[in-house]
Structure 1
Amino acid sequence: MITVANRMYVSPEYREQFEQRFRQRAGLVDGMPGFLANHVLRPTKEGEPYVVLTFWDSREAFEAWTSSDAFRQGHARSGALPKEAFNGPGGLEVHEVLEFGAG
């Protein structure tokens, strides 16, 4: 299993719009093979990024999503936020999930 964390620095005046876009997201990723979950993490301190965190069965499943028509459709939706909504460089991180037994 992997996680993909997309760190996004959102200008304070666009935070509500940013969150609303995820509340009303197209949901095209939900039916993709290997997709497990999507979480949006809101920063607790000013100046920190949002983290859009997705869980996948494998890196191959994630890469299949990013090259799919559904990905292009989901990211080309009307109502995208303007460039000024983002006030810092983002970053994409991919991690393998290590699972350890409970004790």
Structure 2
Amino acid sequence: MITVMNRISVKPEFAEAFEERFRTRAGLVDQMPGFIRNEVLRPTQEGKPYIVLTYWESREDFERWTNSEQFKQGHARSGSLPREAFNGHSELEVHELFLNSVEGKPA
């Protein structure tokens, strides 16, 4: 399993609009093979980024998503917020799960 973390720095005056965009998202990723779940984490400290976290069965599944027509359709809505809503570029990180504490054993 992998996680894909996108750190997105949003200016405070655009936070509600950013959150609404996720509340009303197209949901196309939910039907993709290998997709497990999506979480959006709100910062609790001023100036820290939102974190959009997705879980995938494999990196290949994630890459198929990013190369799919559904990805293009889902992200076409990204223009709904102006460029000035964000503080710079988002930062994408991919991690491989090696330990699951819920099960108490290596993943």
Give the alignment's TM-score, normalised by structure 1. Answer: 0.94
- Please state if 1:62 is matched with 2:75: no
Give the Å deviation of 1:79. Answer: 5.7
Cα distance in 1 between the residues matched to 2:73 and 2:90: 21
For residues 51 and 28 of structure 2, the distance between their equivalents in structure 1, rounded to whole angstroms, comes to 19
Q: What is the CA distance between 1:50 and its match in structure 2?
A: 0.2
1:82 paired residue number: 82
Q: Matches of 2:97 and 2:78 in 1, distance apart?
A: 34
Amino acid at match of 2:94: V
Separation in 2, partners of 1:78, 1:92: 16
SS at match of 2:53: strand
Instruction: Call closer, same or farther: CA 1:79–1:90 in 2, change over 3 Å.
Output: closer
1:59-99 deviation digits (Å, cap 9, x = unpaired): 00000000000000000027621100001332000000112
Q: What residue number does 2:9 align with? A: 9
**CA RMSD of superposed structures (Å):** 1.5
Moved over 4 A (4+): none
Alpha-carbon distance between aligned partners in 1 of 2:90 and 2:78, rounded to the nearest angstrom: 21
Does residue 71 of structure 1 match 2:58?
no
The gaps in structure 1 that reach 5 residues or longer are none
Taking every aligned residue pair, what percent have the same amino acid on both sides? 65
Count residues in correspondence. Answer: 103
Q: Specify the SS of the correspondent of 2:80.
A: coil
The reply on whether 1:49 has 2:33 as its aligned counterpart is no
Residue segments in structure 2 that go unaligned for 5+ positions in a row = none
Measure, in 1, the Cα distance between the counterparts of 2:42 and 2:12. 12
